[in-house]
Structure 1
Amino acid sequence: MSAFPTQAQIVIIGGGIIGASTAYHLGKLGFSDTVLIEKHKLTSGSTFHAAGLVGQLRSNAGITQLLGESVKLYRTLEEETGLATGWKMNGGLRLACNQERWTEVKRQATTARSFGLEMHLLTPKEAQELWPLMDISDVVGAAFLPTDGQANPSDITASLARGARMKGVTIHEDTLVTGLTVRNGRVTSVETSRGSIACEIVVNCAGQWAREIGAMAGVNVPLVSVEHQYMVTERIEGVTPNLPTLRDPDRLTYYKEEVGGLVMGGYEPNPIGWAADGIPEGFNFQLLPSNFDHFEPIMELALGRVPALETAGIKELINGPESFTPDGNFILGQAPELTGFYVGAGFNAFGIASGGGAGKALAEWIAGNGRPPYDLSPVDILRFGRNHQDVGWVRARTLEAYGKHYTIAWPHEEHASGRPLRRSPLYDRLKAQGAVFGEKLGWERPNWFAAEGEEARDIYTYGRPNWSGPVARENRAARSSLGILDQSSFAKFLLMGKDAEAALSYLSAADVSGPAGSVTYAPMLNERGGIECDVTVARLSPTSYYVIAGTGAATHDFDWIRRNISSALDAHLVDITSAYAVLTLIGPNSRKLLEKLTRDDVSNAGFPYASLREIRLAGAPVRALRLTYAGELGYELHLPTEFALTVYEALMAAGEEFAIANVGYRALETLRLEKGYWASGSDVGPDQTPFEAGLSWAVQLNSGRDFIGRAALEAKVGQPLKKRLAGFTVADPNVILLGRETIYRNGERMGWLSSAGVGPTVGLPIGHGYVRRAEGGLDDAFLLAGDYELEVAMERVPAKIHLGALYDPENERIFA
């Protein structure tokens, strides 16, 4: 055994598959001064009892890409290291046993096609030919991914560890982390039972222990342990080595072949949390007592699918706790609390499927100085917020997410646990008026409003939902007269200091040097030229700016801005989200309403578009911004939280003359789709440049000013674009567009929809998506010359492309 190190460039904590994979990929990238430490033995946490299924398809392109990287690695790893991995590319089957599930599966198949994955729809009989042991009497159809498979978790981890050692990484087992030393905002050493290791970077891959490890350095890792059981049988006649993995979500179960028998497990709707008061000391290579009573409902469901289980011998019922997260996605990336502290944990029982790709992404993240290799925002630790600080809240939401693991993933479905948590001052008032709320980052936000006689709750479906009528009603109110929307959940930051302009000018591709009162859409780019932060900034004074970001981007955008302000500058960022409520007025009568309640000049000349005015409104100090995300005359009223209810009441009373209507976020979505505005996080993100997103107007390349991403954009000037954001409509109003539908041009697959919905004003389903072309580039002539179709649940429907707004393309209503 090599001598225990006293220093290293990188220390990885945790010797499960994620830690081993990260070590392997760091070694491949040349980071040989890397040490992996494991408190007991490799795989002794949850890896050794993982089921080992490897599926690839997810609803996000980046995560699907990551899972595909796992398969690529597992196919070659054994040859590289000489250690068996147990990898078999035997394919994966997914069953559907009712029409709604079949619709979900067909939409998943379309998503797979969008992302370039091979996926086939099968009849029940065709599925049975691949999996002869199953009863298909209730099966409607199935999907088959031939490149899915399974692996032996312990073997593949050992192979990764050998690969890491072959590249110079050292691994030390039986080494307990006892503390982390933090100085000047970063970890400088890892304290262990065998001594201290000075280091520059720490990677927390400690699985169920990751939250405890993070807490040692003041880092929040929102995960909890949940019991997860599966059964291992003796040999069963007819179970062959090449039997595909099988997922039967309507019966909550999954299956894989193992030594001629079956592994069968499931996701019960009433999960049992574990170790609420901490994981017991010495819990290594250990399982929990089998809970046959709790597993019995899963067993009964399985018997209906695989009758051979009735007579099969049972080797064991494994009850192994695993780490799960509040949204069912794993956690990667650099923690917002520290520099150089990375996390790879919370894999929700698909750590083996994710392991190869997650380790690769995390290693490249580290090599990129905190920048992920591609858009991984659904798993980025920066997606969490204040609501995730409380472990009780995290546990409640995580158990709900676990219980929904195999339920139908309904469009627009909301979680119910841990609510309400963060409420604007208007919450009770809006609820009394029929508001049906959604939740984002703990905030309660009005999605739509039920009128008298309408049921104020979401009824989920893959068809036309019950809120369609109310949302169309709200859309009409905003277009014809006046709507009001509570957007208090906006993230709001104050950037101040004598160098505030210099700091923001380097961060943003836009010109933010305008005078006090100017409002600028100011996209912030990464070094690849992708849109990292989709923000609006308003200049308050020569030394201060007001920065507005989306609710879900609160942690990410604050972290990005803070980290990219040079320490040599006098510029400081403060989160003031909770200090201000936001009431948004939408519609042609919005100015008339303001004129009834303020003596300040809100005329078009006195208060032009893209400007800010400090006004008095109904006795309250209001920071008013003339902006729109709906394509109508509109204003955002930002005001101290304690005035919110008073101002809302005044607006509603004075607005009766204009038939003012409450509108929700789902109506806002229809309004922005009709206007052709982009949606942050779906239409624009880190993998899309302003050129590709149609936002060239927001970039100031001719200023001579340096900003993050400038060099990448300059290199693209004059080069043909390989993807372009465009709008699409379908003539048939009965077609339901949800996003991820495949785009076909002249019969060739060329991309997918990034966001979609319906436009009540134009009376058409609407989608936005990137048309992609690897060779030859994309210009207007090419785009407009094609005949387009969208694949919706595996059926192609004719579509029309649009390169401009469907509603008010001349912007006459905005500037009225």
Structure 2
Amino acid sequence: EHVGLRKLFTGPESFTPDNGFLIGEAPEVSNFFVAAGMNSLGILTGGGVGSVVASWIVDGVPPVDVTDIDIARLSPFQTSRPYLAERSVELLGRLHSTGSWPHSTPATARNVRRSPIHERLEQAGANFFESSGWENTAWFAPDGFEARFELSYGRQDWWEYHAAEHHAVRRGVALLDLSAMSKFLVLGPDAEKVLNRLSGNNIAVPVGQCVYTQWMNEQGGIEADLTVTRIGDERFFLVIAESFHRRVETMLRRSIAVEDRVYVTDVTSGYALLSIQGPDSRTLLSEVTTASLDNDVFPYFTAQDIDLHCARGMAFRMSFVGELGWELYVPSEFAVGVYDRIVEVGHELGLVHAGMETLESARTEAGRRDYGLDMENTDTPLEAGVGFALDFEKPGGFIGRDALLKQREHRPYASRLVQFLLEDPEPLLYGEEPIMMNGEPVGYLRSGAYGHTLGGAMGMGYIEHADGVTLDLITSSTFEIQVAGERYPARASLRPMYDPKNLRVHM
């Protein structure tokens, strides 16, 4: 009679493959909205989720960044029972332990999606992390080195190997496997019309021309960031980061009217993507192909079908790291042979394998934007500094044009993306650190990496200022980035601090 009563409620909890919510319009069914997968946080976050979904339904666009919670980020295979049985148990623990630490990646449900050259990369010392089910290379280490993952915001024990990869990109030549990137083939007499309606840039270009563009919503917010390459009169090749595969595919298919003669094919699995980057990339590839790679024959941001050792593939001259380089799209069955030839001839040139840590550090130095970090659905191209990829005068316009024209009338913009470099070489940046201007908070970093060439941690973040963010404001102000409660002086720039005139890609 003295024990008392205690109530205990038990019930099923929903855990998603990446601990993010499942919110938004279902890719499979228009106007069908989902609000689920709260990962045991439904009571805590239910009010906010309801507000976001309600606004999304009424306004047609979400009022907040939905990169990590959009239901379209996940793929159908991630609903399989074996996959979820492995992953969900682990993520319950990760939610309250290691999930938010830098470089932390799930250990279960791995090796589900692999590059055609995965085993070769493993033999080369690759350390992998998981992205949208793909095994992506993070960094490479020499034989005999066993990495020890530490829960730390400091330098990991593989730091020096990552730094060597970065320097190889800047001074020599490096190979990066980007096969996880999503790839779509868009065909048909009306393909140009449909793509031009979606794209801020002009897709009506000659065959062989690559186009960098964004897709916007009606309010001018960026929904996708991609390249569109015209590979034939009625053939276009689209490349997008793997995390936005279903979003882009859904936007594309929903934009095709019944009368449009357009056909969309997902060719992601059909091609390996080998990126050869660095000042010596032309010298290396000249031993792999008989095609001329000279500037007058193969200029920057163009594409050609070329021979690649015993295979043929598509070569796009472009660079996300800000160097001379080519992206090779190799049919999957030929990928190992082409890779082996690249490694063979690259040995004399000091070819280095590089992973995504180096892609991130090099692109941050070069000021290249990463969608999902530096840009998302509540940012506009004008705020993000990619207004050069908008063609307001092209026939037919594009989705979001009117909203962006209205914003352009109110310059200077109250929010602009700025690049930062810490003056102290010791602290590291990972993103979300507060930005202080003249001692006052004005924003936070969207992304962070280490600029090994420039000698300090770097990041990009939006500065908010009611009177507009101008060059004069940037140059006349003092900036600090707050790291773990301590403020560090930082340089700020609206232009890339590394190669601001973008000359190196034209070498």
Q: TM-score range by the shorter chain?
A: over 0.9
Q: 1:626 aligns with which of 299, 306, 317?
A: 317
Q: Is structure 2 residue 455 aligned with structure 1 residue 792?
A: no
CA distance in 1 between partners of 2:188 and 2:81 (Å): 36
Q: 2:83 aligns with which of 373, 390, 393?
A: 393
CA distance in 1 between partners of 2:287 and 2:327 (Å): 17
* Contact 2:170–2:278 under 8 Å retained in 1: yes
CA distance in 1 between partners of 2:420 and 2:344 (Å): 40
**Counterpart of 2:308?**
617
CA distance in 2 between partners of 1:424 and 1:451 (Å): 21
Q: Is structure 2 residue 63 aligned with structure 1 residue 373?
A: yes
CA drift of 1:387 comes to 3.4
Question: Structure 1 residues 714, 312: CA separation in 2 closer, same or farther (over 3 Å shift)?
Answer: farther
User: Could you tell me which amino acid in structure 2 is paired with residue 766 of structure 1?
Assistant: M
CA distance in 2 between partners of 1:525 and 1:566 (Å): 18
**Counterpart of 2:192?**
501
The superposition leaves residues 702-751 of structure 1 with CA deviations (integer Å, 9 ceiling, x where unpaired) of 33531000000110123131110011111111112111111111111100
Q: 1:482 aligns with which of 165, 173, 178?
A: 173
CA distance in 2 between partners of 1:312 and 1:760 (Å): 65
The superposition leaves residues 119-161 of structure 1 with CA deviations (integer Å, 9 ceiling, x where unpaired) of xxxxxxxxxxxxxxxxxxxxxxxxxxxxxxxxxxxxxxxxxxx
User: Could you tell me which amino acid in structure 1 is paired with residue 89 of structure 2?
Assistant: L
CA distance in 2 between partners of 1:385 and 1:521 (Å): 25
CA drift of 1:375 comes to 2.0
**Counterpart of 2:408?**
717
Q: 2:289 aligns with which of 582, 598, 604?
A: 598
CA distance in 2 between partners of 1:347 and 1:593 (Å): 49
The superposition leaves residues 104-131 of structure 1 with CA deviations (integer Å, 9 ceiling, x where unpaired) of xxxxxxxxxxxxxxxxxxxxxxxxxxxx
Q: Which runs of 5+ in 2 are unaligned?
A: none
Q: Is structure 2 residue 462 aligned with structure 1 residue 770?
A: yes
Greater relative CO, 1 or 2 (CA 8 Å, sep 6+)? 2
Q: Is structure 2 residue 95 aligned with structure 1 residue 405?
A: yes
CA distance in 2 between partners of 1:722 and 1:616 (Å): 49
CA drift of 1:316 comes to 3.1
Secondary structure, counterpart of 1:472 in structure 2: helix
**Counterpart of 1:238?**
none
CA drift of 1:672 comes to 0.6
The superposition leaves residues 678-724 of structure 1 with CA deviations (integer Å, 9 ceiling, x where unpaired) of 11101011111111111111001133531000000110123131110
Question: Structure 1 residues 386, 590: CA separation in 2 closer, same or farther (over 3 Å shift)?
Answer: farther
Q: Is structure 2 residue 475 aligned with structure 1 residue 815?
A: no
Secondary structure, counterpart of 2:54 in structure 1: helix
Larger Rg: 1
Question: Structure 1 residues 658, 315: CA separation in 2 closer, same or farther (over 3 Å shift)?
Answer: same
CA distance in 2 between partners of 1:505 and 1:685 (Å): 21
CA distance in 2 between partners of 1:451 and 1:768 (Å): 32
CA drift of 1:348 comes to 1.4
Secondary structure, counterpart of 1:657 in structure 2: coil
User: Could you tell me which amino acid in structure 2 is paired with residue 431 of structure 1?
Assistant: E
* Contact 1:362–1:372 under 8 Å retained in 2: yes
* Contact 1:729–1:765 under 8 Å retained in 2: yes
CA distance in 2 between partners of 1:313 and 1:449 (Å): 60
**Counterpart of 1:519?**
210
CA distance in 2 between partners of 1:391 and 1:545 (Å): 36
Q: Is structure 2 residue 363 aligned with structure 1 residue 666?
A: no
Q: Is structure 2 residue 438 aligned with structure 1 residue 746?
A: yes
The superposition leaves residues 196-252 of structure 1 with CA deviations (integer Å, 9 ceiling, x where unpaired) of xxxxxxxxxxxxxxxxxxxxxxxxxxxxxxxxxxxxxxxxxxxxxxxxxxxxxxxxx
* Contact 2:185–2:267 under 8 Å retained in 1: yes
The superposition leaves residues 760-814 of structure 1 with CA deviations (integer Å, 9 ceiling, x where unpaired) of 11111101100012x2111111122111111112222211112222222222211
CA distance in 2 between partners of 1:593 and 1:797 (Å): 41
Q: 1:802 aligns with which of 464, 474, 493?
A: 493
Q: 2:270 aligns with which of 579, 603, 612?
A: 579
CA distance in 1 between partners of 2:286 and 2:428 (Å): 41
**Counterpart of 2:74?**
384
CA distance in 2 between partners of 1:393 and 1:806 (Å): 43
Q: 2:386 aligns with which of 692, 695, 716?
A: 695
**Counterpart of 1:465?**
156
Within 5 Å, give how 1:486-565 maps onto structure 2: 486-565=177-256
User: Could you tell me which amino acid in structure 2 is paired with residue 483 of structure 1?
Assistant: A
**Counterpart of 1:281?**
none
Q: Which runs of 5+ in 1 are unaligned?
A: 1-310
CA distance in 2 between partners of 1:499 and 1:312 (Å): 76
Secondary structure, counterpart of 2:77 in structure 1: helix
CA distance in 2 between partners of 1:400 and 1:544 (Å): 43
CA distance in 1 between partners of 2:375 and 2:248 (Å): 14
* Contact 1:757–1:766 under 8 Å retained in 2: yes
**Counterpart of 1:50?**
none
Identity over aligned residues, as a percent?
38
**Counterpart of 1:780?**
471
CA distance in 1 between partners of 2:184 and 2:239 (Å): 7
Larger deviation: 608-617 or 422-431? 422-431
* Contact 1:449–1:456 under 8 Å retained in 2: no
**Counterpart of 2:429?**
737
TM (normalized to structure 2)?
Answer: 0.96
Secondary structure, counterpart of 1:635 in structure 2: strand
Within 5 Å, give how 1:168-247 maps onto structure 2: none
* Contact 1:326–1:401 under 8 Å retained in 2: yes
CA distance in 2 between partners of 1:757 and 1:617 (Å): 34
Q: Is structure 2 residue 138 aligned with structure 1 residue 447?
A: yes
Within 5 Å, give how 1:75-224 maps onto structure 2: none
Q: How many residues matched?
A: 504
The superposition leaves residues 619-667 of structure 1 with CA deviations (integer Å, 9 ceiling, x where unpaired) of 1111000000111101000011000000000000011121111110101
Secondary structure, counterpart of 1:337 in structure 2: coil
* Contact 1:333–1:342 under 8 Å retained in 2: yes
User: Could you tell me which amino acid in structure 1 is paired with residue 83 of structure 2?
Assistant: W
CA distance in 1 between partners of 2:227 and 2:469 (Å): 29
* Contact 1:436–1:457 under 8 Å retained in 2: no
CA drift of 1:434 comes to 0.9
Q: Is structure 2 residue 25 aligned with structure 1 residue 334?
A: yes
CA drift of 1:340 comes to 2.3
CA distance in 2 between partners of 1:659 and 1:358 (Å): 52
CA distance in 1 between partners of 2:197 and 2:365 (Å): 33
* Contact 1:458–1:467 under 8 Å retained in 2: no
CA drift of 1:456 comes to 4.0
Q: 2:453 aligns with which of 761, 767, 771?
A: 761
* Contact 2:218–2:399 under 8 Å retained in 1: yes
CA distance in 2 between partners of 1:535 and 1:743 (Å): 28
User: Could you tell me which amino acid in structure 1 is paired with residue 156 of structure 2?
Assistant: P
Question: Structure 1 residues 794, 638: CA separation in 2 closer, same or farther (over 3 Å shift)?
Answer: same
Question: Structure 1 residues 401, 782: CA separation in 2 closer, same or farther (over 3 Å shift)?
Answer: same
CA distance in 1 between partners of 2:11 and 2:394 (Å): 59
User: Could you tell me which amino acid in structure 2 is paired with residue 335 of structure 1?
Assistant: A
**Counterpart of 1:319?**
10
CA drift of 1:313 comes to 5.8
CA drift of 1:386 comes to 4.1
CA distance in 1 between partners of 2:67 and 2:169 (Å): 32
* Contact 1:725–1:771 under 8 Å retained in 2: yes
CA distance in 1 between partners of 2:3 and 2:134 (Å): 50
